[in-house]
Amino acid sequence: MTGHKQPYYITTPIYYVNDKPHIGHAYTTLACDVLARFKRLDGYDVMFLTGTDEHGQKVDKSAATKGIDPQSFTDQVSQNFRDLAVHMNYSNDDFIRTTEERHKKACQALWNKLLEKGEIYLGSYDGWYSVRDEAFYGEKELIEKDGEKVAPTGAPVEWVSEPSYFFKLSTWGDRLLKFYDDNPDFIAPQSRRNEVISFVKGGMRDLSVSRTSFKWGVPVPGDEDHVMYVWLDALTNYLTAIGYPDADPAKLEKFWPADLHMVGKDILRFHAVYWPAFLLAADIAPPKRVFAHGWWTNEGQKISKSLGNVIDPYDLTDRYGLDQTRYFLLREVPFGNDGDFSHRSMVNRMNSELANDLGNMCQRVLSMIHKNCDASVPTAGAFTDADQVILGKAYGMLDTVRPLFDAQAFHKGIEAIWELVGDANRYVDEMAPWGLKKTDPARMETVLYVLAEVIRHVGILVQPLMPASAAKILDQLVLAADQRGFEKLGPDHALASGTELPKPEGIFPRYVETEDEGEKA
């Protein structure tokens, strides 16, 4: 690709500000961060967006409970999400807030477009609404709990009767089904795609897209008694951030349609049904893909505030380390499935996969080089078949990992890299360079050179997942900043013999449990 890098636009959902960030928020943004970093290293021009969703009745009520105005309330809570992004070392290019002027302008532009197309009409809404879910529910969707009607999520519902604008969602069923058919990768994983298709086939009613019973939202243009339904407002953020409608036409043309909206499975319907319908109705192309991941439990229990077992990302990183936490969250569970957080699995993975497999391999090899090769990159002789096999695997690893990451199968991509690490550990044991030192020093140098090249490849490939730890590995090979992109993988950019190397330092300390942790576990 000359001159113009291929654009890649990835988004997290914008997080609802009625609460402080927890592991679910950290997990979604982490997956996007890893993919964004991967794509940048792979030569793409990446736009990675996250932010906060700050309107709606729930925020209005939370602010009132705290006795402050909604804007001051959202200023405080939105900052918590910005702080988390910095703490977790996320590389987002923008952070959007739905209370910004640029966003209000984008929402009103989309509204006017839908109105002009005859897709919105004024009527009155009578039905069940859940403030907690910010969602309308049909009578048939409600369930009985302790003699009360509640939403399928268990949230309380109230009967609402007020004037409302409606979006003609009922007319979009067949067009959406055709769109899903024409774009088989639009919704992933497959199980979620099936859910959405069966929901749309079940028939859809027109969607209420405005409210008059409160004021905390984007005013409906030309009818200020109404504010826009929070989901029409929230989803538009993905367009706002790239300059819709006319703030930055070049950026909009470059990055839209988005390559990937990453969401939790609880908000899939809004992203895979309502959003493409709004966009198609406004003559805007829908995003290329929506991926809905699963939820975490804590030591086998559902996470809930009432159980007091909410997992705070700050606690995890303080206790286990930042890169260790990033590694565990994407390695532990097939991405898309639900996963269980357990202290025992976290410690096992840290100690076996990070400290032993990768950390120990780097330490052993670099220490032998330091001691036996004048503290510089060894000189390689002719490669044997065994050398060629492991080097070939290292050189081909990007081709193995790329399609897995493109399919959001992060766990499989990480597994493939760790297979290479396992092969390298076996290769060290089989070649026994410590023995070759006396019998065949030239062969010892070749073996250590092969291992240093494998470490270079692993170091470059784990940068998206563990940026700080990868940098430590690559620093120990004295790799310049411009030698760390994926285009430097392979034999053409192999380590230069004779390059002086620093004294190696450990990268992943073993996690040693304190006595009370041992008892708890």
Q: Give the pLDDT of residue 1.
A: 39
Strand bridging mode 296-298 / 301-302: antiparallel
Decide if pLDDT at 21 tops 50. Answer: yes
pTM given for the model: 0.94
In this predicted model, what pLDDT tens digit does every residue of 285-327 receive, in sequence order?
Answer: 999 999 999 999 999 988 877 788 889 999 999 999 999 999 9
Q: CA–CA separation, 97 vs 101, rounded Å? A: 9
Q: Give the pLDDT of residue 3.
A: 53
Q: Give the pLDDT of residue 20.
A: 80
What per-residue string of b and e applies to 477-514 under the rule 16 or more CB within 10 Å gives b?
Answer: bebeeeebebebbeeeebbeeeeebeebeebbeebeee
Q: CB 45: neighbour CB atoms within 10 A?
A: 15
Q: Is residue 281 part of a domain?
A: no
Q: Is residue 457 part of a domain?
A: yes
Q: Is residue 514 part of a domain?
A: no
Q: Is residue 406 part of a domain?
A: yes
Q: Is residue 225 part of a domain?
A: no
Q: Which residues contact 67 (CB under 8 A, 6 or more apart)?
A: none
SS3 223: strand
Q: Is residue 468 part of a domain?
A: yes
Decide if pLDDT at 11 tops 60. Answer: yes
Q: Is residue 375 part of a domain?
A: yes
Provide the residue range defining the domain that includes 486.
343-493
Q: Which of 179-183, 215-219, 241-245, 302-306 has the lowest mean pLDDT?
A: 302-306
What CATH number does residue 372 fall under? 1.10.730.10
E strands along 210-338, which residues? 210-211, 219-220, 223-228, 260-264, 290-293, 296-298, 301-302
In this predicted model, what pLDDT tens digit does every residue of 318-363 receive, in sequence order?
Answer: 999 999 999 999 999 999 999 999 999 999 999 999 999 999 999 9
How many domains, the chain?
A: 1
Mean pLDDT on 172-196: 97
Percentage helix, strand, coil, to 5, in the chain?
A: 50, 15, 30
Q: Give the pLDDT of residue 305.
A: 77
Q: Is residue 432 part of a domain?
A: yes
Which residues lie across from 207 on neighbouring strands?
Answer: 167
Decide if pLDDT at 434 tops 60. Answer: yes
Report the phi/psi class of residue 133: left, alpha or beta, with left for phi > 0 and alpha for psi in -120 to 50: alpha
Tokens of 170: 């009922």
